A and B are shown apart, each in its own frame.
Chain A
Amino acid sequence: MRLIILYLIGLVFGVGISISGMANPAKVLNFFDVAGTWDPSLAFVMGGAVIVTFFGYRYLLNRPAPFMSASFQLPTRRDLDLPLIGGSAAFGIGWGIAGFCPGGALPALGTGQLDVFIFTAALLAGIFVAKAMQSFGREKQVTV
Chain B
Amino acid sequence: MIETAFTPFQSLGGGALIGLAAVLLMATVGRVMGATGILAGLFQPANIADWSWRAAVLAGMISGPMAVLLITGDMPAVQVPVSTLMLVVGGLIVGIGVTFGAGCTSGHGVCGMARLSPRSIIATLTFMITTAITVYVIRHVLGA
Rounded to whole angstroms, the CA-CA distance of A79 and B27 in the bound complex is 26
Rounded to whole angstroms, the CA-CA distance of A100 and B84 in the bound complex is 12
With both chains docked as a complex, state the minimum distance between the C-beta of A39 and any C-beta of chain B, in angstroms: 5
Q: Which residues of chain A have C-beta atoms less than 8 A from B2's C-beta?
A: 26, 30, 37
With both chains docked as a complex, state the minimum distance between the C-beta of A38 and any C-beta of chain B, in angstroms: 9
Contact A97 B138 (CB under 8 A): yes
A136 within 8 Å of B (CB atoms): no
Rounded to whole angstroms, the CA-CA distance of A52 and B22 in the bound complex is 9
Rounded to whole angstroms, the CA-CA distance of A102 and B101 in the bound complex is 13
Contact A7 B60 (CB under 8 A): yes
Contact B14 A100 (CB under 8 A): no
Contact B81 A19 (CB under 8 A): no
B45 within 8 Å of A (CB atoms): no
Q: Which residues of chain A have C-beta atoms less than 8 A from B95's C-beta?
A: 94, 122-130
Contact B104 A42 (CB under 8 A): no
Instruction: Closest B residue to A14 by CB, please name it.
Output: B64
Rounded to whole angstroms, the CA-CA distance of A10 and B99 in the bound complex is 21
Q: Which residues of chain A have C-beta atoms less than 8 A from B5's C-beta?
A: 39
Contact B87 A122 (CB under 8 A): yes
Contact A16 B20 (CB under 8 A): yes
Contact A98 B91 (CB under 8 A): yes
With both chains docked as a complex, state the minimum distance between the C-beta of A53 and any C-beta of chain B, in angstroms: 4
Contact A12 B21 (CB under 8 A): yes
Q: Which residues of chain B have C-beta atoms less than 8 A from A67's C-beta?
A: 27-28
Instruction: Closest B residue to A77 by CB, please name it.
Output: B119
- Near A by CB (< 8 A), chain B positions 72-124 give 75-82, 84, 86-106, 108-115, 117-119, 122-124
Rounded to whole angstroms, the CA-CA distance of A32 and B1 in the bound complex is 13
Contact A88 B108 (CB under 8 A): yes
Contact A3 B93 (CB under 8 A): no
Contact with B along A43-80 (1 / 0, CB 8 A): 01111111111101100110001111101111101111
A142 within 8 Å of B (CB atoms): no
Contact with A along B1-33 (1 / 0, CB 8 A): 111111110111111111111111111111111
Closest 10 A-B residue pairs measured CB to CB? Answer: A126-B95, A14-B64, A10-B60, A20-B14, A98-B90, A122-B91, A96-B134, A48-B15, A52-B19, A87-B101
